[in-house]
A = this chain, B = another copy of it.
Amino acid sequence: MVGVSDGPAGFQAIREANLGIVLRTIRQTAPCSRAVVAASTGLTKATVSSLVADLIDRGLVCETGLVTERRVGRPGMLLTIDGSTLVAIGLEVNVDYIAVSAVDLLEREVLSRHVEFDASSAGPEACAARLREVLLEVAADPLLRDRPLVGASTAVPALIDAPAGTVTNAPNLGWRDFPLRERLTALLAGSPLEGLPLLVDNDANLGAVAEYRGGHLARTLDLVYLTGEVGIGAGVLMNGELLRGASGFAGEVGHIPLLGNGPLCACGRRGCLESLAGMDTILRRAVPELVPEGPVRGSGLGELVAETARRAEAGDAAALAALRTAGTWLGRAVATLVNLLNPSAVVLGGYFVPLAPWLLPPCRAAAAAHSFAPDGGGCRIEPSALGLSAAARGGAMALIDALDTGALPLPPATAA
């Protein structure tokens, strides 16, 4: 599993890696006995017993009852993941809100918050300060207060340098080259969350993780998740793995060029998908008298989307035309995804969900018309069931997954 190295540092690294391996094995096969874990991992029973004792001390694993099969020797206890202790927190910053989701080791959501926040007007420094506040409030919430935290993840609609935790370019927030993880780490110094592991990733990538691990198309190996915000991003899972590309910048479906001399996009180009089917464009056409001059920003976005849905429901011509046009462009983009990637499913997320009854028919028609493979290569186009917290929840799930692979420091054993 891990190369043997001499000295105590090497020994500790192997033990941490083996803790992750045992944790993952128990997650996959629970309830299971120590003997089954030993057989599955190739570790000796003595090593497994020692590692399991450590995982129980750390609140990751618990015993759940006696093995019932008849066997030689005294009966062993069955092991399972302890969903009652550790949690991971996921945050998402978007143009008009901060979403929060906390997930336990069984990937059950134990807390969810939607905080209205005008992130694009606030700028990156004020937003980092607000993220710190939200994080401290959530950690102190009675639902989480006594539970150790695995870490916190922040999803941003942006090109992200994930290893560095830097936001390279977020056109709809107006941020460039902002070292978000570094700033959050500094802001949390001296607080109860000092030293908490922090991840930063693209919102569409984390939305795709949430769909894959817990959406209604869960375990669909070749899946694309589309964020439906002012921006449109794609999280692409191929064979169950996130497709990140050579420098981590894959999935920028919002900026594929669809129309020569089309409308101006926030990125400065013309005719990008986002300028044709993003929320800004949809709302400006659907509820024109409610949308101020300049880009749609701030915390009224959700209300404008709801008003658009109400008008479409009532048969308002402008709202219906706006949704039909946007749905058709979205379908051409989906056809591009189908032709290039041949996914089993494309999931529409975010604000696309409440508008799906009107977006989906023209979207599906255009996608079918422009897909080369027969029957769109079998691709389904469905609305997400995860709502606006998908990326937040996916980030929390990614932290739990990192725990299994030993990629994060495991929480130390508590002095029981």
Give A contacts to B, CB under 8 Å.
Answer: 159, 168-169, 221-222, 234, 236, 238, 243-260, 267, 269, 272, 332, 335-337, 339-344, 369-374, 377-379
| Whole-angstrom distance between the Cβ of A45 and the nearest chain B Cβ | 20
Tell me which of B234, B246, B253, B341 contacts A243 (CB under 8 A): B341
Q: Are B256 and A336 in contact (CB under 8 A)?
A: yes
A-B pairs, top 5 by smallest CB distance, nearest first, are A245-B342, A255-B372, A249-B373, A250-B342, A246-B344
Given A159-B373, A269-B370, A335-B257: A340 touches B236 (CB 8 Å cut-off)? yes
CA separation between A292 and B343, bound complex, in Å? 39
Q: Which residues of B contact A269 (CB under 8 A)?
A: 369-370
Q: Which single residue of chain B is at the shortest CB-CB distance from A379?
A: B246
A258: chain B residues at CB < 8 Å are 257
- How far apart are A163's CB and chain B's nearest CB, in angstroms? 15
A138 to B254, CA, bound (A): 49
A273 to B394, CA, bound (A): 35
A339 near B256: Cβ-Cβ < 8 Å: yes
How far is it, in angstroms, between the C-alpha of A247 and the C-alpha of B253 when the chains are bound? 22
| Option from B221, B340, B371, B378 in Cβ contact (under 8 Å) with A340 | B340
Residues of B within 8 A of A332 (CB): 257
Residues of B within 8 A of A238 (CB): 238, 243, 245
Q: How far, in angstroms, from A170 to B295 measured CA to CA in the complex?
A: 45
Interface pair A373/B259, CB less than 8 Å apart: no
Is B342 touching A256 in the complex (CB atoms < 8 A)? no
* Shortest Cβ gap from A337 to chain B (Å): 7
**B-side contacts of A337, CB under 8 Å:** 340
Residue of B nearest to A265 (CB): B372
A246 to B373, CA, bound (A): 12
Least Cβ distance of A310 to chain B in Å?
A: 31
**Considering the chains assembled together, what is the distance between the CA atoms of A385 and B255 in angstroms?**
31
Q: Which residues on the B side are within 8 Å of A251 (C-beta)?
A: 340
**Which of A168, A234, A245, A377 has the most CB atoms of chain B within a 10 A radius of its CB?**
A245
**Chain B nearest CB: distance from A362 CB in Å?**
14
Chain B residue nearest to A331 in the complex (CB): B257
With both beta carbons as reference points, the residue of chain B lying nearest to A223 in the complex is identified as B246
Residue pair B378, A247 in contact (C-beta under 8 Å): yes
Nearest Cβ in chain B — how far from A208, in angstroms?
13
Which of B249, B254, B335 contacts A377, CB < 8 Å? B249
Q: Say whether, besides A222-B245, A246-B343, A168 and B374 are in contact (CB < 8 Å).
A: yes
